[in-house]
A and B are shown apart, each in its own frame.
Chain A
């Protein structure tokens, strides 16, 4: 009930801020534009929309997480009882906001015959899971770039952009690194693995098709849990 009240409040604030406008428009227009040329291969196209949704979700959650001013956030914390509950709601809302975009990315090309063949139900369901886990991954990463942790909005935006670029370049970075330290790339957000499996969907066994979803969910859960633990200790700590 508390979460629903918080989600309702966050939704009112975010919708009335109109900060959802630019990323939403970019995503919707981008998807329509990409599919303006037909026909398209099914899973390879979904590979693109997964990565596109990942980027847009970082933009949306970046806007949502700091939508409240520090003073209003203090008030929300007092009413919610603690900062952890408020931020669970913020993370959840950030993800829920991307769900319609995931569904649009999935259904628009399928229902408007933009593919070279009709996608199967299994392909649609798997693609939906890929889209939803990619947007949750974006939320779980973006939360670290809120003003609680990085005061300067410019610095946090540039660092977040860097992390997104690194996430997409994980394989290339892995190839460039000496073999002794290649293991560090497992810390990178697993976007590349998702794109790779979708791009070569037919060539992968069933287990391999599920693996990126599992890895992404695990990574996202660990990232957001760690964020909430640290935030709960730090609270609103910053000089005023």
Chain B
């Protein structure tokens, strides 16, 4: 993999990067420059290569062709994957382990863990992460990514599976992190983050990256559908992984309110019907 020190003022630069798996090219000729304080949103449909691009940026996978250049002084990178595993430890234990691995001194680490719990409004308790909700797990996920005060935070679907209030709170937490001086690169379906973080929007289509104005991004999924039904937890997890932008909210009588975007409507409904799910209501929403 090409990892070269960059002498420009960019934190990280991808130069004509191509990424393929076996014979399949997922991303081709990607060029992207991330500067200090930037907020970049990557949008695209399922399987378009958003996660692959983020993993390339993070250095988790090698480029097939092209170059990945990093700031000549070295940068601290934080990465939050699309799903946080449910580990058998408390959030404090987990962050302590991650912080120690990241060479953060004991005193600084404890202070930072307290600060992040407060910022994300997550109580430091003895409850293990196996009992956390999706929203709580996602908070821990972003907390670990920002633990070492990174120069660049890479977030893969940070709003995946979050209900509206949690997503809104996450936006404000990310704004606070940005104010600390971190650049953010996030893959999202929902333009909510884009509009509130004053971001540059990029779309991935057929493996190519293109910058697009906010208005195009906003219209990307302005029509949504709200489905009320009963879905077993196992199927719910499967659907959440298959449709990361779908928002699941608990309702009364064990019902679930699922909000999906227009482009996912056909696939999502097919999946529900295939699993014999009976709908209580279906509503088309604009805006």
> CB-CB < 8 A to B60: which residues of A?
74, 77-78, 235-236
Which residues in chain B, 237-284, are within 8 Å of chain A measured between CB atoms?
A: none
Quick check: B55 and A240 within 8 Å, CB to CB? yes
**B198 → chain A closest CB, angstroms:** 26
Given A77-B60, A236-B61, A237-B62, A69 and B85 touching (CB < 8 A)?
A: yes
A108 to chain B, nearest CB (A): 31
Indicate whether A178 reaches chain B with its CB closer than 8 angstroms.
no
**Interface residue from B52, B81, B89 paired with A74 (Cβ < 8 Å):** B81
Interface string of B141-171 (1 = CB under 8 A from A): 0001101100000000000000000000000
A235 to B103, CA, bound (A): 22
Chain B hits for A25, CB < 8 A: none
Q: Which of A8-16, A34-42, A51-59 contacts B (4 or more CB under 8 A)?
A: A8-16
Interface pair A9/B97, CB less than 8 Å apart = yes
Known A74-B60, A78-B78, A78-B79: A233·B98 in contact at CB below 8 Å:
no
CB pair A79–B89 under 8 Å, yes or no, is no
**Chain B residue with minimal CB distance to A16?**
B88
**For B80, what are the chain A residues with a Cβ–Cβ distance below 8 Å?**
75
Chain B residue, CB-CB nearest to A4: B100
Q: How far is the CA of A5 from the CA of B102 in the complex (A)?
A: 9
Is B101 interfacial (CB 8 A cutoff)?
A: yes
Residue interface bits B11-22, CB-to-A below 8 A is 1, else 0: 000000000010
Interface residues of B in 68-114 (CB under 8 A from A): 77-85, 87-89, 93, 97-103
Indicate whether A76 reaches chain B with its CB closer than 8 angstroms: yes
Chain B proximity mask over A22-47: 1 for CB below 8 Å, otherwise 0: 00000000000000000000000000
The answer to whether the Cβ of B51 comes within 8 Å of any Cβ in the partner chain is: yes
Is B199 engaged at the interface, CB distance under 8 Å to the other chain? Answer: no
Name the residue on A nearest B93 (C-beta): A12
CB closest chain-A residue, reference B24 = A239
Determine the distance from Cα of A80 to Cα of B62 in the docked complex, in whole angstroms: 17
Chain A, interface size: which category?
20 to 34
Cross-chain contact A2 with B103 (CB below 8 angstroms): yes
B91 nearest CB across to chain A (Å): 13
Contact of B21 among A12, A71, A233, A239 (CB under 8 A): A239
Are A2 and B101 within 8 A (Cβ)?
A: yes
- Does A172 count as interface, using CB distance less than 8 angstroms? no
B98 x A12 contact (CB < 8 A): no
Interfacial chain A residues near B98, Cβ < 8 Å:
9, 75-76, 79
Q: Which residues of B contact A9 (CB under 8 A)?
A: 97-98, 100-101
Interface residues of B in 1-36 (CB under 8 A from A): 1, 21, 24, 26
Q: In the complex, what's the smallest C-beta–C-beta distance from A9 to chain B, in angstroms?
A: 4
* Minimum distance in angstroms from A18 CB to a CB of chain B: 9
Q: Residue A200 at the B interface, CB < 8 A?
A: no
Interface assignment of A203: CB less than 8 Å from any CB of chain B: no
16 A/B residue pairs, CB under 8 Å, sorted by A? A2-B101, A2-B103, A9-B97, A9-B101, A12-B97, A13-B87, A16-B88, A72-B85, A72-B87, A76-B98, A78-B77, A78-B145, A79-B101, A235-B59, A237-B62, A239-B26
Q: How far is the CB of B220 from chain A (nearest CB, A)?
A: 22
A235 with B62, Cβ < 8 A, contacts A8-B97, A240-B52 known: yes
**Contact of A75 with B79 in the complex, beta carbons under 8 Å:** yes
